[in-house]
Structure 1
Amino acid sequence: MGTIKKTQNCDTQHDKSSRKLFVLDTNILLHEPHAIYSFQEHDVVIPMTVLEELDRIKDSKRDVARDARVAIRALEAIFHDATPEEISTGIPFGKQITDSNHVSGTISILADFDIQDSDKAFADKAGDNRILNGVLSLQNSSAPREVVLITKDINMRLRAKGAGVEHVEDYRTDQLIDDVQFLTKGFTEYKGNFWDNFKQVESKNIGSKTFHTVDREGLEPTYINQYLIDEDSDFAGRVEELTPTTAKIRDLGREHLLHRQAWDVRSKNIYQGMALNALLDPDIDLVILTGAAGSGKTILAMAAALEMTIEKKIFDKIIVTRNTPDIGEAIGFLPGTEEEKMLPWLAAITDTLEALHKNDHNTEGSLKYICDKANIQFKSINFMRGRSIQNAFVLLDECQNLTASQIKTIITRCGEGSKIVCSGNLAQIDSTYLTPVTSGLTYIVERFKSFEGSVNVHLNGVVRSRLAEFAEENL
């Protein structure tokens, strides 16, 4: 504790006035348990109500119970040796002092149950109202310092502004874009002829592969493994290498992509062709598929998984998992093994397997044979933590409902020889606190766009049926 006291002694009034006070709502710590470390240059305040809510959630059967426990442990690690006075006044995060006039921010706990009536906007003791009263009290007592309430609850932000809180913000540390329309689609479609954009092209054949080296100035903003197509020619390619001045493009050919197939599933458009190209490429470790319902994300991923596991014998097993918002509460009440409990949530996968074998003489027998042959395992996302998955083809479905930290947990499970496919539709987010721009799916698309071992493809068009296509466009 000696270091903390020394740091506090050299914290001048000028230092305090230049730092903001960030008050975190409970949903911030459930969204990102280590969010407190995103504000280290300022002062973080945790209302007592937040700790009480975390305490109630940590022992529940909700899927956020683990995040609540992680947040509590992070706070305990900071406060475990602190005195009550230090907890209320603020403890430095522990960063080294960079110079004599600057220290890192602090974190403290606000006793929001003991607020003077003059500072209260709400008389009742509901959780959100206690937090808002605490923010208003800080705002009055800490002026002219800026007090900012951070919450992912839109209605909480509206109520805070209505109650007189001057600064209310969403948590945007893990938000990489401001509008989902700017999210990279994984391909660039050029008007006219692609080759008209370049004065000089150097082509080279290496075995059966053809590569073109072009001036990077002729390309629109591009990333490694981004697909390139045009309107007028038969060209389709993928960026293989990038230098500050040039780009090396592998020529794939539009017709070749349109005829790609796996497990007797043939691409129905150029976008599915690009997706199959990535799914069947053994050098690609992560494939991210986005697109509307009915665009073919699940069936392409499953077809590629069966092809590479059974026919090509690249993988030893297929692991299928997805986010289930109420799985923590409901899975224990369903009969059977873990895999049998998961089947209601993975009906999309079993429906896809049936569609792939609907023309077999005995569909049920074929499905049982394929599941055994490919060693298909249906796993709960909760039981994926702590595992190291080797030589497996992993399908992570409905990723739009996962936070960035949840997806990180799954991706980091993949060991040597494994491939993971993350798919989702950003228009179908069920999570209370996620939006298209804060979804973990959006996060990994942006984070992995420059990684040579990943490919992202947005599947345009709905190929499920004309009814589904009309519904997607008009409802």
Structure 2
Amino acid sequence: MDQRKQFIVDTNVLLEDPECIRKLRNGIENDVFVPYHVLLELNKLKKDARLAHIAAKVVKNLLEDRDKYVVLDTDKVAEPFQDLVDGYILDEVQRSGLAEPILVTNDKILQLLAAKRGIKSEFYRESVPFKSDAEYFTGFVASREERVPNCFFWEEGKPVFWGRDEEGRFEEKAVSYQHKVWNVTPRNVYQNLAIELLTNPCIDVVSIQSEAGYGKSFLALAAALHLVLERKDQRKIYVVKPMIEIGQKLGYLPGGVEEKMEPYTRYVGDLMSKLHATRPANRLFLDAEQYPPKFDPKKFELLPLNYIRGMTIENAVVIIDEMQNMSRSECRALLSRMGEGVKCFCLGDIRQVDHPYLNQENNGLNWLVKKFKGAENYAHLVLKGEKSRGPITDLVIKSGL
């Protein structure tokens, strides 16, 4: 019996994994088809600053693998900037004459529309994790039997940390003390445990998931100042941010990289000014009195994600903000830039995904937790608490607005 499958690939799958055609084909086991309107979408995305580099990679692979897929025919073309192409893609599938086509897409609405027409569809299995690990794995386990490296569990109402000591041996340690870094005192037990992880010399990568207002950026910056200026474990701080909000506007803004990013990273300057007022951090500034403050690039840099490509980062604290707006491939490309002596803080909220081709399950932060969980130099924590940055934010979180 012929077990060959006939896969039809949607745009979002190609963007998430430019190698998906080869994987779906699995040697010569299956047949892969690309709708004509998917090619039109890729052509449009070449002009989108957020996705142009990914679209270019997809097109390059399509050119190299022309013998590994077939482009579907169409009898009508969508009007540019007017028609949604989903219906046209489904038309192509129906008129293709394929016996049992399977539309591979991560778009749930397109799956519903396909089902209405009797077209079978499925998620791209290499793309969507089984569940949202970044939220469901909180950093705590229920008992000793479920321990993983650098986790916590409750014992007699106190958090107990399971991780390596200075000699590299795993031990249990009750966190009954309160941390204080750069004159910042944690507001609740979870913030205290976050600092425990951020300042632990045995942990290279820490991810923190929380809704807005629980202080993950403030704590990460305070810990970075402590490591660079006080403990001198690293020499420099980088803050990296995927520039989803800017889109094509980034290139047209005046000035250099820092000036272009300033409207979207002003909160970093505000937090650094607040920390500087708490305890002077003069070595990080060229002018701390200017607003927004001007940083010394030898000690502190704000960088958009694309500027990391080709770099090798060493002896630095790297804070990756809004990691939920990075794709799996972008996450991999960024973390592979990290050399010796790097401490990496990955921050985000999987409930606030702004990237048009990502979702709560399929994003860089969730992939990080899914793949790194259990590694001896990695830790994850979900920040919680009764109070956030203020009473209005408290009300937003409590009401579920």
What TM-score bracket applies, with the shorter chain setting the length? Answer: 0.7 to 0.9
- 1:229 equivalent to 2:157? Answer no
d(CA) in 1 for partners of 2:304 and 2:336?
Answer: 16
Deviation string, structure 1 residues 21-65 (Cα, Å, up to 9, x no partner): 11011121122222223313332211222223212322x142111
d(CA) in 1 for partners of 2:17 and 2:233?
Answer: 36
- 1:389 equivalent to 2:313? Answer yes
TM alignment of 1:4-403, pairs within 5 A? 14=1, 17-41=2-26, 42-58=30-46, 60-79=47-66, 91=67, 107-114=68-75, 127-138=85-96, 141-143=97-99, 146-165=100-119, 167-179=120-132, 183-188=136-141, 219-230=144-155, 232-234=156-158, 236-240=160-164, 249-256=170-177, 259-358=178-277, 366=288, 371-372=295-296, 375-403=299-327
d(CA) in 2 for partners of 1:468 and 1:26?
Answer: 37
d(CA) in 1 for partners of 2:280 and 2:75?
Answer: 72
Q: TM-score, normalised by structure 1?
A: 0.74
Note if contact 2:183-2:279 (Cα within 8 Å) is conserved in structure 1: no
Please state whether the residue corresponding to 2:95 is helix, strand or coil. helix
Note if contact 1:315-1:391 (Cα within 8 Å) is conserved in structure 2: yes
* Partner amino acid, structure 2, of 1:74: N
Please state whether the residue corresponding to 1:157 is helix, strand or coil. helix
Shift of 1:114: 4.7
Please state whether the residue corresponding to 1:314 is helix, strand or coil. coil
Note if contact 2:241-2:321 (Cα within 8 Å) is conserved in structure 1: yes
- Rg larger for: 1
Give the 3 Å change call, closer, same or farther, for CA 442–339 of structure 1 in structure 2. Answer: same
Q: TM-score, normalised by structure 2?
A: 0.87
5+ residue gaps, structure 2: 77-81
- 1:443 equivalent to 2:367? Answer yes
* Partner amino acid, structure 1, of 2:154: I
Shift of 1:322: 0.8
* Partner amino acid, structure 2, of 1:21: Q
Note if contact 1:287-1:420 (Cα within 8 Å) is conserved in structure 2: yes
Shift of 1:249: 4.9
Please state whether the residue corresponding to 1:250 is helix, strand or coil. strand
d(CA) in 2 for partners of 1:326 and 1:239?
Answer: 38
Note if contact 2:316-2:341 (Cα within 8 Å) is conserved in structure 1: yes
Please state whether the residue corresponding to 1:414 is helix, strand or coil. coil
Give the 3 Å change call, closer, same or farther, for CA 227–371 of structure 1 in structure 2. Answer: farther
Note if contact 1:23-1:45 (Cα within 8 Å) is conserved in structure 2: yes
Give the 3 Å change call, closer, same or farther, for CA 367–308 of structure 1 in structure 2. Answer: farther
Please state whether the residue corresponding to 1:187 is helix, strand or coil. coil
d(CA) in 2 for partners of 1:347 and 1:181?
Answer: 26
Note if contact 1:48-1:109 (Cα within 8 Å) is conserved in structure 2: no
Equivalent in the alignment of 1:5: none
Deviation string, structure 1 residues 114-164 (Cα, Å, up to 9, x no partner): 59xxxxxxxx986333321221123xx332xx3111223333222222233
d(CA) in 2 for partners of 1:306 and 1:293?
Answer: 22
Shift of 1:355: 2.3
d(CA) in 2 for partners of 1:235 and 1:431?
Answer: 35
d(CA) in 2 for partners of 1:287 and 1:30?
Answer: 27
* Partner amino acid, structure 1, of 2:126: T
Equivalent in the alignment of 2:79: none
d(CA) in 2 for partners of 1:226 and 1:380?
Answer: 31
d(CA) in 1 for partners of 2:157 and 2:281?
Answer: 44
Note if contact 1:271-1:460 (Cα within 8 Å) is conserved in structure 2: yes
Please state whether the residue corresponding to 1:355 is helix, strand or coil. helix
Q: CA RMSD in A?
A: 2.7
* Partner amino acid, structure 2, of 1:155: I
* Partner amino acid, structure 1, of 2:153: L
Give the 3 Å change call, closer, same or farther, for CA 330–74 of structure 1 in structure 2. Answer: same
Please state whether the residue corresponding to 1:469 is helix, strand or coil. helix
- Identity over aligned residues, as a percent? 30
Note if contact 1:235-1:251 (Cα within 8 Å) is conserved in structure 2: no
5+ residue gaps, structure 1: 1-13, 80-90, 92-106, 116-123, 191-217, 242-247
Deviation string, structure 1 residues 261-304 (Cα, Å, up to 9, x no partner): 21111222221122111111222211101011111110110001
Equivalent in the alignment of 1:194: none
Equivalent in the alignment of 1:88: none
* Partner amino acid, structure 2, of 1:108: Y
Equivalent in the alignment of 1:457: 381
Give the 3 Å change call, closer, same or farther, for CA 223–360 of structure 1 in structure 2. Answer: closer
Please state whether the residue corresponding to 1:186 is helix, strand or coil. coil
Greater relative contact order (CA < 8 Å, ≥ 6 in sequence): 2
With 341-350 and 443-452 compared, the bigger mean Cα shift is at: 341-350
